[in-house]
């Protein structure tokens, strides 16, 4: 929507989810010289290991094969001219990450975490790995950042949830956040790394339903609270890179 040429590459080889999230059931075409043509979908060029392996096929690969497949998605895919190529990586510090940082110059990594200490322990290893191989960390996103609820009540000025008063607008609308986990894990990690906290994405039924139907919430309902969070994160990433 901002006028950029964007590619999206799903490199989570052991659990590719992009075909489901974007509602894609096609397979990429091959050129005569065996190059893959990324799918043009929702204004982006899309490629995923799930297009090739199938979403229901278990992947049992050793490290060298994972490394070769990761390289192939760059060497043998006709991306064309792009402003941004966004890579969705598996968790951790495995073969995909190591191959990328050894073979390519990556402009930066975005660290995604959930608020709990257990998640932060793994995230720290990943963030420190990127820095060790001289890949800048652009910022941190906290996912599952509380439960966001919005609704409307009639003929009711005082509303309490879990014993806490909730602000009700004149038209009866309200919006609240309930912290199901501890709060602030993303902020703690961003401060440790001295990078921006790019955003906090709440648990939301709207996000769940949108991803299950392959219709991203930012397109389905651009004015939704969570859509504005996603768009704000995207803008911040562009600003940091520029």
Domains of the chain: 6-144+181-241 (3.40.50.300), 147-180 (no CATH)
Q: What is the dihedral of CA 224, 229, 235, 236, to 10 degrees?
A: 170
What's the whole-number average pLDDT of the chain? 85
68 pLDDT tier (thresholds 50, 70, 90): confident
Measured distance CA(15)–CA(59) in Å, rounded: 8
Is it the case that residue 64 has pLDDT exceeding 80?
no
Measured distance CA(12)–CA(47) in Å, rounded: 11
Least confident of 39-43, 46-50, 163-167: 163-167
Question: What global pTM score does this model have?
Answer: 0.84
Tokens of 201: 């994405």
Tokens of 63: 């490290």
- Could you tell me which residue, 155 or 87, shows the higher pLDDT? 87
**Interval 192-222: pLDDT, tens:** 999 999 999 999 888 889 988 899 999 989 9
Is it the case that residue 58 has pLDDT exceeding 70?
no
């Amino acid at each position: 929507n901002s006028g950029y040429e964007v590619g999206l590459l799903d490199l989570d080889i052991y659990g590719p989810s992009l075909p489901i999230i974007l509602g894609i059931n096609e397979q990429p075409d091959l050129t005569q010289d065996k190059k893959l043509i990324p799918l043009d979908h929702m204004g982006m060029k899309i490629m995923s290991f799930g297009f090739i392996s199938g979403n229901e096929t278990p992947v049992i690969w050793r490290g060298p094969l994972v490394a070769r497949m990761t390289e192939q998605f760059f060497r043998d895919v006709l991306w064309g001219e792009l402003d941004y190529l966004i890579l969705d990586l598996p968790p951790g510090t495995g073969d995909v990450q190591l191959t990328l940082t050894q073979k390519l110059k990556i402009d930066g990594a975005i660290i995604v975490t959930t608020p709990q200490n257990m998640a932060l322990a793994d995230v720290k290893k990943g963030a420190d790995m990127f820095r060790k191989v001289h890949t800048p960390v652009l910022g941190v996103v906290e996912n599952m950042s509380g439960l966001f609820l919005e609704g409307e009540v009639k003929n009711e000025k005082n509303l309490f949830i879990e014993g806490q008063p909730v602000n009700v607008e004149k038209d009866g609308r309200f919006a609240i956040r309930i912290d199901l986990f501890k709060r602030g894990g993303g902020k703690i990690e961003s401060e440790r790394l001295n990078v921006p906290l790019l955003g906090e994405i709440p648990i939301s039924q709207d996000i769940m339903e949108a991803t299950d139907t392959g219709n991203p919430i930012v397109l389905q309902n651009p004015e939704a609270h969570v859509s504005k969070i996603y768009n704000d994160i995207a803008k911040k990433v562009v600003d940091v890179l520029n």
